[in-house]
Amino acid sequence: MLKKHLTKFHLWRIEMRELELYFGPQHPGMVGNFSITLKVEGDRILEAIPNPGYLHRGFEKLMELRNWIQNFPFVCRINVIEPDSMEAVYAMAVEKLANIQIPERAKYIRTIVLELGRLASHLFGAWAYANMLGFDTPAQWAMADRDHILDLFEELTGGRVYHIYILPGGVRRDLPDGFEEKVMHFLHGLASKLPDYNETFFENRIFYERAKDIGKIKKEEAIEWAATGQVLRATGVKHDIRKIEPYFAYDKVEFDIPTRADGDAYSRILVIRDEMLESAKIIMQCIEKMPEGKVYERTPNPFKWKIPEGETYVRVESSRGELGLYLVSNGGNTPYRVHFKTPSFNHGLFILPKLLKGASIADVGNIMISLYVVAPEIDR
């Protein structure tokens, strides 16, 4: 009798073994419009299938119909959280194809804008991570500090989130009076808050326990899987486009590339924290060394601007890793083909399912945010 009962129970267990679970886009643990289909057994994930496409607007195709300058509002919307690096990479590609040299002062201003954008992006990332794990206090601090950067951007460019400030030929306008002091004031304020951030979040024992050994990647795997940015640097590889192929004013400032050895979620968030300090260092040096002069090299009338035939691949280090742009011109007044190599595409569609295999359901959001995946970058 008992044996029969047990067999029945056993059969029932087998029947209930594998479940399919839809995680996102409407899920508290999910950041952005992205979803993952999980095949789970109990709490363990057997397989994870990412489903992008909620934000697919076909920007790369739409850009083929609009002239070189009209494309800027598209470009910045590809990465909502850090639009400046997108503008920079597109402007760089156009300048390369059209053979435009930008003034020295514009290079410094671009560097400052990019680093402020990186700071804003990292603070947003810290907010997302802290918020998801329930560290509400540091999350709100990070969001408030990001808002200060948005205020600075509003003063500089007129826009808070999307700036369209970096244009081929330089930047749209010079820094307003007293802007440098405001930036310095903000940076000192942020640095003074670092001990608080460390205590409540980065070096908090609870956070350490929650993020240590989660989503671990080995060094060899990270290289093999073409990881970039923090994901690669957290495994101990010193790789940064700003050092390898310096653009703008990055060859004139001193900074380190922070790395960690463990390759887990905790290492990645510490790399992000250290990068914020490096960003602050870069901005301070730029403000100090910035020369006087004009900030914009006149470009032809945008409606009549034809760019000579050619192709180029340019890359910058965005807050998420190597951001590349393959731009082809056939001599017309619109691009012939635009292809963005975004870090999240590889991280979100290829590395994420690999890391989720064998993890628990509670760690899905944890792993995804620690990989720093931003959905619009995948869909484009």
Interface contacts to another protein, rule CB under 8 A: 52-53, 56, 58, 60-62, 65, 96, 223-226, 237, 239, 244-245, 310-313, 315, 322, 324, 326, 328, 336-337, 339, 341, 345-346, 349-350, 379
Nearer to another protein, 60 or 174 (CB): 60
* Of 96 and 260, CB closest to another protein: 96
Tell me the sheet residues that pair with 44: 41, 360
Lookup: tokens for 24:
């996102």
Describe the strand order of the beta sheet including 44-51 as a list of residue ranges. Answer: 19-23, 35-41, 44-51
- Verify cis geometry, omega within 30 degrees of 0, for the bond prior to 52: no
> Distance between CA 328 and CA 325 in Å, rounded?
10
CB of 58 to another protein, least distance (A): 6
Using alpha carbons, select from 111, 109, 119 the residue that is nearest to residue 253.
111
In whole angstroms, the minimum distance from the beta carbon of 155 to another protein comes to: 36
> 273 vs 347, which CB is nearer to another protein?
347
Nearer to another protein, 168 or 348 (CB): 348
Which residue lies nearer to another protein by CB, 107 or 273? 107
In the block, which residue shows the tokens 């460019």? 157
Q: Quick one: 53 or 178, whose CB is closer to another protein?
A: 53
- In the complex, the smallest distance separating the C-beta of residue 165 from another protein, rounded to whole angstroms, is 26
Q: Is the dihedral of CA 257, 243, 265, 54 positive or negative?
A: positive
Least CB distance to another protein at residue 36 (A): 14
Rounded to a whole number of angstroms, the minimum distance from the CB of residue 22 to another protein is 15
Cβ at position 46, least distance to another protein in Å:
17
Distance, first Cα to last Cα, the chain: 61
Contact, 47 vs 35, CB < 8 A?
Answer: no
Among residues 107 and 380, whose Cβ is nearest to another protein?
A: 380
In terms of CB distance, is 146 or 239 closer to another protein? 239
Residue 112 CB contacts under 8 Å (≥ 6 apart), including other chains:
183, 283, 286, 287
Residues ≥6 apart with Cβ < 8 Å to 144: none
In the bound complex, what is the minimum distance in angstroms from residue 144's beta carbon to another protein? 35
Residue closest to 75 by CA, chosen among 309, 332, 299, 318: 318
Q: What DSSP designation does 174 have?
A: P
| Shortest spacing between CB 241 and another protein, in angstroms | 9
Residues 268 and 231 sit within 8 Å (Cβ to Cβ): yes
**DSSP states along 282-326:** HHHHHHHHPPPS--B-----TTT----SEEEEEEEEETTEEEEEE
CB 339 within 8 A of CB 60: yes
